[in-house]
Amino acid sequence: MRFDIDSAKFVEHDLDSEKLAVIGSDRAVSWSELEAESEELAVTLRSLDLPLGHPVLVRGHKEVGMVSAMIACMICGHPYVPLDVVVPSDRVRRILAITGSRLIIDHTEDAFPDVAFVLKRNGLLRSAATSSAEPAPDRPEDPIRYIIFTSGSTGEPKGVRITRESARAFLDWMVNDFGFGAADVYINQAPFSFDLSVYELFTSLHIGGTLLLNDGETAKDSHRFLDRIKQYNGSVWVSTPTFAYLYLTEPGFTGEAVPSIRHFLFCGESLPKATAQRLLDRFPNARVLNTYGPTEATVATTLIDVTRDVLMEYPDMPVGRVKRDAMIRCVTPDGRPAVKEAPGEIEIIGPHVSIGYLNNDALNTEKFFALDGQRGFRTGDYGWFEDGILFFNGRRDEQVKLNGFRIELGDIGAQMLAVPGVADAIAVPLKSGETVKRIVGFIRAAPGSDGSLLRETVASHLRRTLPSYMVPADLMMVEAFPVNTSHKTDRKALIELYTKRPKSGT
Ligand code: AMP
């Protein structure tokens, strides 16, 4: 059996309905059990009479119930908004305000008194709250499948809307070009609020494979994680390069010890050549796939099988060839073709490009465009083509990646500035080469504020309002922000202040 994402129906019932469909952190279900559970949830959803297209928040951490909830939403024509527990409840409330959602399917103990319907493990809670409903979409032929929220530079998260058409374009590519099948076991560890997880979630459901979910504790414990992969014959490893790099320090992470792994699928940040090389050495029977793309263009747009030949041929790590139904152009200021020495901004055009951010017209006008009847997105990434293969050359703005997680430094800054007593604040990445290793928040207290008290207040405010991966590793109080010759805050000087600080003086 499989769940066809395009038609939002369980199909091919006669095939392997007793095969495991989802192995969650809490329990495992077969395909027939997943179908029964999702259909039952769909009945509950319909009974709430939410308008078609009304977004539903789905919150938890790797429970089977998260998957059946996302499926039920698709069946009923509701976009789901996946929220892992890395997103704290204050941010969930801001997302609720943006979506106007009246229903949250929640696997945590948190209370949401302002939401009309809260569906918990033990049943449905109704409240008197009347949050405003989103108007029903006027495109029933292309319903929104999901809305993933990413960090926004102004401190307001951005909801990327992915429709049925975009999901179809993504899955056509997955089915035809990646070489995965129904016999594969797709290993998940990324939170569902990170679009990397759409790789294994959608592919496994759509192809009819088995989805192996791993909670944060398991992913951190290499013995537990590798044992689980062995136990369930995990075959498709999906992660950021950083996550695999951490596993390379593990002697038991080899093709001999974990022979079921046949594919390493990467996206979300640069794949270092050394990481790819070491994986090929350790897993001689596995493929290493590098893919590139932002959430706004449904997971990824380019793909390359990183073979030994590819590693030898190109001094830089390629991110791949553009999928057939899409186009990428690298736009330079002078209109000349982008080259390594003068890369251009990467624009993605194709059916997998989002219809835009939810309720954010200003940003949609800036970032999205139409070209010959197709949707386009200005990524803010830079790159160039060589032999028809795209190469990535970083960004020029305040968006960074930390362990593959997308972070707008301005989002952190806005949260620090929201704390009374903070006169000025800025988040600065500490890098090793091009890789961000940690983020440090610098704070200047307003006159009369107690610095050390303020530091604690800001720290707890950030833990409450930001996803855990966005909370700066450290906060440092400064008397004044150094400025450079162009009268801008001198980040280099701040980093120097931080690295040379006396141990107890922060
Ligand atoms: P996200 O929306 O979280 O998937 O982040 C998308 C961003 O991650 C892109 O705009 C790039 O800046 C970066 N990115 C994604 N894939 C790659 C890759 N293969 N190599 C380098 N950077 C990447």
What secondary structure, in 3-state letters, does 361-398 show?
A: HHHHHHHEEEECCEEEEEEEEEEEEECCEEEEEEECCC
The closest of 162, 154, 153, 150 to 95, measured between CA atoms, is 150
Q: Burial letters for 450-475: b for 16+ Cβ neighbours within 10 Å, e otherwise? A: eeeebbebbbebbeebbbebbbbeeb
Cα–Cα distance, 303 to 485 (Å, whole number):
42
Per-residue model confidence (pLDDT) at position 408? 97
Could you give the residue ranges of the DSSP H alpha helices within 15-128?
31-47, 64-76, 89-99
What would the mean pLDDT of 73-87 be, rounded to a whole number? Answer: 97
Ligand 1 atom nearest to 392, measured from its CA: 21
Mutate to test the pocket of ligand 1, among 267, 328, 389 (most ligand atoms within 8 A of CB): 267
Summarised one tens digit per residue, pLDDT across range 166-209 is 999 999 999 999 999 999 999 999 999 999 999 999 999 999 99
Q: What is the pTM of this model?
A: 0.96
List the residue whose alpha carbon is closest to atom 1 of ligand 1. Answer: 294
What would the mean pLDDT of 143-154 be, rounded to a whole number? Answer: 96
What domains appear along the chain, each with residue ranges and CATH number? Answer: 5-386 (3.40.50.12780), 399-499 (3.30.300.30)
DSSP-based three-state secondary structure for 321: strand
DSSP-based three-state secondary structure for 37: helix
pLDDT over threshold 50, residue 505: no
Q: What is the mean pLDDT of the chain?
A: 95
Per-residue model confidence (pLDDT) at position 452? 86
Distance of CA 335 to the CA centre of its chain: 32
With contact defined as beta carbons under 8 Å apart, do 471 and 462 qualify?
A: yes
Residue carrying the six token digits 């192996």:
212
Cα–Cα distance, 158 to 357 (Å, whole number):
6
Handedness of CA 295, 296, 297, 301 (dihedral sign): negative
Cα–Cα distance, 177 to 340 (Å, whole number):
27
Ligand 1 atom nearest to 380, measured from its CA: 10
Cα–Cα distance, 463 to 303 (Å, whole number):
36
Residue carrying the six token digits 């909830």:
69
Per-residue model confidence (pLDDT) at position 506? 47
Comparing 174-188, 419-433, 491-505, the range with the smallest average pLDDT is 491-505
Distance of CA 235 to the CA centre of its chain: 21
List the residue whose alpha carbon is closest to atom 3 of ligand 1. Answer: 406
With contact defined as beta carbons under 8 Å apart, do 143 and 129 qualify?
A: no
What would the mean pLDDT of 34-44 be, rounded to a whole number? Answer: 97
Summarised one tens digit per residue, pLDDT across range 470-491 is 999 999 999 999 999 888 899 9
Per-residue model confidence (pLDDT) at position 504? 62
Distance in Å, CA 267 to ligand 1 centroid? 7
pLDDT over threshold 70, residue 80: yes
With contact defined as beta carbons under 8 Å apart, do 151 and 86 qualify?
A: no
Could you give the residue ranges of the DSSP H alpha helices within 301-446?
308-313, 361-367, 409-417
Assess whether the C-beta atom of 149 lies below 6 angstroms from ligand 1: no
Could you give the residue ranges of the DSSP H alpha helices within 48-122?
64-76, 89-99
pLDDT over threshold 80, residue 310: yes
Distance in Å, CA 238 to ligand 1 centroid? 14
Residues 327/332/336/339 CA torsion (nearest 10 deg):
-80
Residue 372 dihedral angles phi and psi, to the nearest 5°:
50, 45
Which residues on neighbouring strands pair with residue 185, listed in sequence order?
A: 210
Rounded to the nearest 5 degrees, what angle is found at the Cα of 206, between the Cα atoms of 200 and 208? 90
pLDDT over threshold 80, residue 139: no
Handedness of CA 471, 477, 480, 485 (dihedral sign): negative
Cα–Cα distance, 220 to 135 (Å, whole number):
42
Mutate to test the pocket of ligand 1, among 87, 265, 292, 409 (most ligand atoms within 8 A of CB): 292
What would the mean pLDDT of 324-350 be, rounded to a whole number? Answer: 97
Could you give the residue ranges of the DSSP H alpha helices within 381-433?
409-417
The full DSSP string for 227-274 is HHHHHHT--EEEE-HHHHHHHTT-TT-STTTSTT--EEEE-SS---HH
**Residue 259: half-sphere exposure toward Cβ, Cα within 13 Å:** 1
- The DSSP secondary-structure symbol of 110 reads -
Residue length of the chain: 506
Distance in Å, CA 269 to ligand 1 centroid? 5
List the residue whose alpha carbon is closest to atom 19 of ligand 1. Answer: 292
Cα–Cα distance, 304 to 292 (Å, whole number):
9
With contact defined as beta carbons under 8 Å apart, do 111 and 92 qualify?
A: no
What would the mean pLDDT of 16-33 be, rounded to a whole number? Answer: 97
pLDDT over threshold 70, residue 45: yes
Assess whether the C-beta atom of 85 lies below 6 angstroms from ligand 1: no
Cα–Cα distance, 30 to 104 (Å, whole number):
25
- The DSSP secondary-structure symbol of 398 reads S
Per-residue model confidence (pLDDT) at position 134? 58
Ligand 1 atom nearest to 160, measured from its CA: 2
Distance in Å, CA 293 to ligand 1 centroid? 5
pLDDT over threshold 60, residue 102: yes
